[in-house]
Structure 1
């Protein structure tokens, strides 16, 4: 048993600290407590023991709400009296007060037992109720109760023994049982002022006596008054109170409201100046025109968090929905509507921002969207059946240029991509280590782009003359030449630096660039981590990566280089590059034979004509991605960033180019992220790492945020059967709500796990109004 004394000298323990101490002790396995309280509230509930062991509390001098919301398996014994709200909302515990109980004792009790060894205060037993799935609550009082006792009682059993209460006109106080509609009240002694318009007083029958006999001993033992058994067990002194049945209750005269309004109310009514009274009576619950709210099936109105966070806008929850419906090939093809690099980027090098925001990640683990991209590597889309006759030249065969070419070719345009390197792919081919991006995957996806009808012209460096020729020969041009010029800060000795992008390109070309035994990498972004890995591959024995700030690389890339033996240091401010290494602003020497800098790249735009709008060395397009008449841009030429950023921008650029070529207007779809409060994640079971399914089967865990998963919960839950599922001619479906049945209760919106249903204020005009 744990004893807790709530006074230490002149210092009193707060209620919060006492409850925390109880919780901590229970966590350590304690189940029995003796508490010398000093008015602390809420002692004893709601608490439960993880192993199902019973809890016991012995309490002196408690504050209000002792045993509040007490649960089954908890026993509370109060030595002496207790103030207001003893056993408030009791949900199964046994509460014994060996003295008096204050006002509202057993208020709202729904289960369990409450024994009072003295008197109970005003409104005791009020609002007691009974859930038929559980045993009814029981409330026993040795002496008497204060006024308004058992007010609005709707269930349970109350017993007032009337001991030592002969001096009172009523052992139930004044105006007892007002509004009582359920339960049974047994009492011994005088009882005046009972609300006889709500209840009736009856003698006990055999079942009543049997109940009282069976429970009396437990009551008296619990309050330690067994000597009173004979005194209060003369059943002829007892009576019971039960509520009147509906048939027994007095009835008001039936008034026909419609007749009253039409025949007796003044013509036109008192509001005739603003409305024409249609004579209809609108109840509290109504359908159709007079509903306060109407439900709308907002399927796909909102973007799921994964889609919203993906800069390419890939609706992964739609892929999982298609897999759920068994449309496997369609699911794998869906991602190609947004990117041709589902495997190279989504499945290999993307940081998977989609997974960072996945709702499922807040339950257990994010759904495996990145791995899902690899299932689309072999997916094929058909060439367009009709060509537009329009031509587009794309300068740059990297992620942005090839993405733009892919989408434009699918729209029926003839596209040619000009790439200075001997191979297509840009940084995916030239810079990213093969260990991160398998060449076989990239080769398949490049062939898919070529099979769509895109013409590749590699080994062609575009200069000003060639660009002018391309501009003349093609109906539109997309500049996506990327950023391939490594940035260098002009420190003393900067001529000793090796540019990280040049180093990585040499590694990927198989040239095996020479490095010293000790390599220093300036810059701890993802490129810096790639350089560190490449340095080890080229024979470095030690690599030190430095930065002026905390490394910005992805956690998995940092972990990988640390596993290889690299050291990351920050903040480090470089002052000079020497043959011995890097000298910092503080004068420290970081030793190194080779220093490689990876602080970003800039685009080379020297091939563009004069007058093109530039800002800080990058192109500055308008809102349609144009930098000139018929000239568009995308990717790192605007602002160096991630591959997925370039892919998303290139798709939008392609749509703008198509609009320019066809004379249409491209309307961007900007979706709002589905509010987290609309999602009912409790519907989904937790899944631990050892139970993860394959990525293609992860639709079993996907929450399907913002898109209907066709779970039928809404129409099965609708209390008015107002919702129906309608099959559409294209094989799809929708759920509709019948306004003649719907009462606007909002259960559909509350129960939908995916946040599809939304309740809107009813804006349908009521035509009786003159305004």
Structure 2
């Protein structure tokens, strides 16, 4: 695979970024692509490692050494063919996936791993530019109809796979445009929405029907779902976590996703009354994950006076922690492009009170430093450090604390059983109601985009088997190659 000595000859190179001052002046993607020659070299670094742990670490089972080898050989069309055998939407994962494959790369034991995610993005972008990605219509249509509820990556993957099996697929989306959190939850500077639109155009040309502004269980009766032979629920895990903190009801304490959604809609030309803005405000983002990072980047683009980030956990080490050895996902400090645009990051900080003025407007936060007491076999204990209280000026506090699980609207109205975490229970993606299936975050809880696509694909196979008694759709790692 690749060039036998490539990993010795070529060092890892990643895309660079436009200068901070330039990129924060707009909401466009700001990566500077590597040349085709350099990407070929990066593909050449892939080792003939015998056991591709990268392949195993990828929830989709992407055939990573195979498409790296094709890039090395300048066989880009074949690389795209191989990539699309397991991944319906590499243009999404190539931008948004945290790349567990790279953390499991064998070369990563002794050197920087292969730049798999960037190679993936370059393959699919080349494929779109060359016109290699074309609608794939099924050779025959069955008489079966399927409703997909939710148009995020899980729903879209399930829809495309089931359509390829010949079924008639309708996707319902409660927002005004298709894409789920990809559309409004991910800022444009990470994913420009034309990237979604060009893929949706392919799916529509393949025969999939999309219906927006349809909120099943609210403005569309669940009784109407009985018109379909099968239903796949892919509504995501959208119940937002809050804080049981005094003053959390103050004006200016805002859920991160509300802030991000409004910002993206305005960027796309939609009118939002009383938009939540960071302009000229002291902004504190509570939560250190990707959503928190997106809030940092958006706040800087809106002209915040200051941006501060709180994380209750300890600061991770700069290198892989011994507690998470290769090939596991590492405990390691992640510094995003948004952090580099300007952010005061603080760890082991707990918010004790939101302070507001007589109008109920947020003016400050009170915090206390904490530490964690670790006792083997027991849950970690959070201990506050006496005398470490501090008051921070704050006009806008963004709660980026993740999600607790899916909404209960559909489970209650349809009679679907849920587990202790409120996720929709399913065996082989099939709920307690035989013709209703579920996939993605709604089934497994908040997770990665690559898991969502994997879940959608796997659920589609189970639906096809349920309807037809068998399925020719591929499962993870089948390597069933579609035509170029």
TM-score, normalised by the number of residues in structure 2:
0.71
Aligned to 2:293: 529
Structure with more helix by fraction: 2
How many angstroms does 1:636 deviate by? 1.3
Aligned to 1:626: 431
Deviation per residue, 1:402-448 (Å, 9 max, x gap): 11111111111111100011111111111111111122222222222
How many angstroms does 1:565 deviate by? 1.9
How many angstroms does 1:667 deviate by? 10
Where 2:464 maps in the other structure, the secondary structure is helix
CA separation of 1:634/1:467 partners in 2, compared to 1, >3 Å: closer, same or farther?
Answer: farther
Decide which of 285, 307, 315 is 1:543's aligned counterpart.
307
Aligned to 2:277: 514
Where 2:366 maps in the other structure, the secondary structure is strand
Aligned to 1:308: 56
How many angstroms does 1:664 deviate by? 2.2
CA separation of 1:469/1:354 partners in 2, compared to 1, >3 Å: closer, same or farther?
Answer: same
Decide which of 324, 336, 339 is 1:562's aligned counterpart.
339
Matched, 1:656 2:462: yes
User: What CA distance in whole angstroms lies between the structure 1 residues aligned with 2:241 and 2:187?
Assistant: 20
How many angstroms does 1:324 deviate by? 6.0
Q: Which has the higher contact order (CA 8 A, sep 6+)?
A: 2
Deviation per residue, 1:463-500 (Å, 9 max, x gap): 16735234211111010111233221221111122000
Gaps of 5+ in 2: 1-47, 267-271, 317-329, 357-362, 369-387, 480-484
Matched, 1:396 2:150: yes
CA contact under 8 A between 1:333 and 1:380: conserved in structure 2? no
How many angstroms does 1:559 deviate by? 4.1
CA contact under 8 A between 2:424 and 2:431: conserved in structure 1? no
CA contact under 8 A between 2:315 and 2:333: conserved in structure 1? no
Decide which of 357, 363, 368 is 2:104's aligned counterpart.
357
Decide which of 344, 348, 359 is 1:571's aligned counterpart.
348
1:190-209 equivalence runs, <5 A = none
Aligned to 1:150: none
User: What CA distance in whole angstroms lies between the structure 1 residues aligned with 2:430 and 2:111?
Assistant: 40
Aligned to 2:418: 614
Matched, 1:502 2:258: yes
Where 1:607 maps in the other structure, the secondary structure is helix
User: What CA distance in whole angstroms lies between the structure 2 residues aligned with 1:647 and 1:556?
Assistant: 26
Decide which of 335, 338, 346 is 2:83's aligned counterpart.
335
CA separation of 1:380/1:373 partners in 2, compared to 1, >3 Å: closer, same or farther?
Answer: farther
CA separation of 1:353/1:607 partners in 2, compared to 1, >3 Å: closer, same or farther?
Answer: same
User: What CA distance in whole angstroms lies between the structure 1 residues aligned with 2:84 and 2:476?
Assistant: 20
Where 2:335 maps in the other structure, the secondary structure is helix
User: What CA distance in whole angstroms lies between the structure 2 residues aligned with 1:481 and 1:536?
Assistant: 31
Gaps of 5+ in 1: 1-299, 672-706, 708-771
How many angstroms does 1:385 deviate by? 0.8
How many pairs were matched up? 372
User: What CA distance in whole angstroms lies between the structure 1 residues aligned with 2:51 and 2:159?
Assistant: 26
Max Rg structure: 1
TM-score, normalised by the number of residues in structure 1:
0.45
Aligned to 2:35: none
Q: Could you say what the CA RMSD is over the residues aligned between the two structures, in angstroms? A: 2.8
CA contact under 8 A between 1:464 and 1:607: conserved in structure 2? no
User: What CA distance in whole angstroms lies between the structure 2 residues aligned with 1:499 and 1:532?
Assistant: 14
Aligned to 1:591: 393
User: What CA distance in whole angstroms lies between the structure 1 residues aligned with 2:473 and 2:183?
Assistant: 33
CA contact under 8 A between 1:581 and 1:589: conserved in structure 2? yes
